[in-house]
């Protein structure tokens, strides 16, 4: 009986792997819609990245917290894009290298 149960589990796992790899479990329509919406966000955000605001850094501030404070909410773009925009505005300075008391240009985004 145990051998039959083990055989059944092996067949079930093998079939589920085959089904997942061949047909998948997510509908293709939603995946393509998600990809196209990400492309639209990237295209529009590159045009809006020219706007910025100068902010003096206080203790505990991060680049992401500064951007979120300006938006009063969540980020409308990916974190990697915020990092790239910050580097462009501040002559290649990495966000991890900001110092308390200094002013930096922080990119503005529309929600």
| pTM of the predicted model over 0.85 | no
Which domain range does residue 4 map to?
1-48
- Cross-strand bridge partners of residue 55: 104
* Cα gap 12→57, rounded to integer Å: 57
57 lies in the same domain as 111: yes
* Cα gap 57→66, rounded to integer Å: 9
101 lies in the same domain as 55: yes
42 lies in the same domain as 59: no
pLDDT of residue 18: 86
Does the structure show a pLDDT above 50 at 32?
A: no
Torsion over CA of 34, 35, 36 and 41, rounded to 10 degrees? 90
111 lies in the same domain as 72: yes
64 lies in the same domain as 42: no
pLDDT digits (tens, 9 = 90+) for 4-22: 999 999 999 999 888 888 8
């Amino acid at each position: 009986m145990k051998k039959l149960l083990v055989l059944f589990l092996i067949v079930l796992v093998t079939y589920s792997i085959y089904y997942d790899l061949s047909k998948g479990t997510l509908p293709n329509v939603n995946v393509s819609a998600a990809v196209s919406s990400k492309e639209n966000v990237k295209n529009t955000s590159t045009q809006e990245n020219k706007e910025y605001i100068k902010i003096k850094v206080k203790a505990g501030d991060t680049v992401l917290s500064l951007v979120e404070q300006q938006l009063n909410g969540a980020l409308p773009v990916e974190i990697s894009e915020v990092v790239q925009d910050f580097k462009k505005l501040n002559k290649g300075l990495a966000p991890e290298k900001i110092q308390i008391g200094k002013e930096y240009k922080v990119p503005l985004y529309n929600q």
